[in-house]
Amino acid sequence: MDTLTKLLRYRGHTLSKQYGYDCVLIDNIYVEIDLREASKRIPPTTKYGSSEYIPTGDFIFKVGKYSGEREWRDGKVKLEGMLARIVAKLELIAQREKEWEERARISALKREEEENRLVVIKKRRDEEVDKFNRLVKLSEQYDKTRIIRQYIEAVKQMAINTNNLTPEKLEWIDWATNKADWVDPLINKPDDILD
C-alpha cells in the first residue's frame, strides 16, 4: 500500500474517501479501491454445521464497481509486481467515467435546449391561438352589431311607413343606436351603465 500510495502521488492522484469508501481521486473522478485478504472456504463436517473460512495470506486488490470492476490477486506474481497495471486500470476507469460525464453533460444541454425550443414553440402557438380567439370574438361581436343596426333600421322604417314615429320611438332608436355603438368593436363607445 505504501508503494501504491507513492506511485499514485507520483502520477498526480490522491487517496481519498467518498461515501465511506476508499477511493483514488483522478482528475476529479473518484474510483473505489479495496484491499482484502483471500479466504479459503472449508465445507461443514456435519449436516447442520456452517462453512469455515480460513485466511490464506494472499491479497486481493479490487478497483471500480459494478460492471467496471476488476480484481488482481496474489499468485505467481505478487500484487507489488502488478502496481503499474493497477494504476493504469485506475486511470482508464477514471478516463471512461470522465468521458461518460461529458457525454451526459452534452446530452443534458441538448435536452435542455430542446425543452426550451418546445417551450418557445408552445408559447408562440398559445399566443397565436389567443390572438385568433380574440379575432373570432371581435368578428362575432361586429356581426351582432350589424344585426342590431339592421333591426334598429327595420324598426325605424316600420315606424315611418306606418306613420308611427313618435318621440318615444325616436328616443328608443337613439338609445338602441348608442347600445349598438357600445357593442361595436370598431367604435367602442363608452356606456355609463354597462361599462
pLDDT of 1 strictly over 90: no
Confidence grade of residue 65 (pLDDT, cut at 50, 70, 90): confident
d(CA 69, CA 60): 13
pLDDT of 189 strictly over 90: no
Mean pLDDT of the region 149-173? 93
Threshold 0.85, pTM exceeds? no
Going from the C-alpha of 13 to that of each of 9, 25, 31, 89, 112, the distances in angstroms are: 5, 6, 11, 13, 34
Could you tell me the three cell numbers for 126?
Answer: 398559445
Could you tell me the three cell numbers for 58?
Answer: 494472499
Mean pLDDT of the region 107-117? 97
Mean pLDDT of the region 121-131? 96
d(CA 76, CA 19): 34
* Average pLDDT across the chain, whole number: 91
Q: Are 86 and 63 in contact (CB under 8 A)?
A: yes
Mean pLDDT of the region 67-73? 85
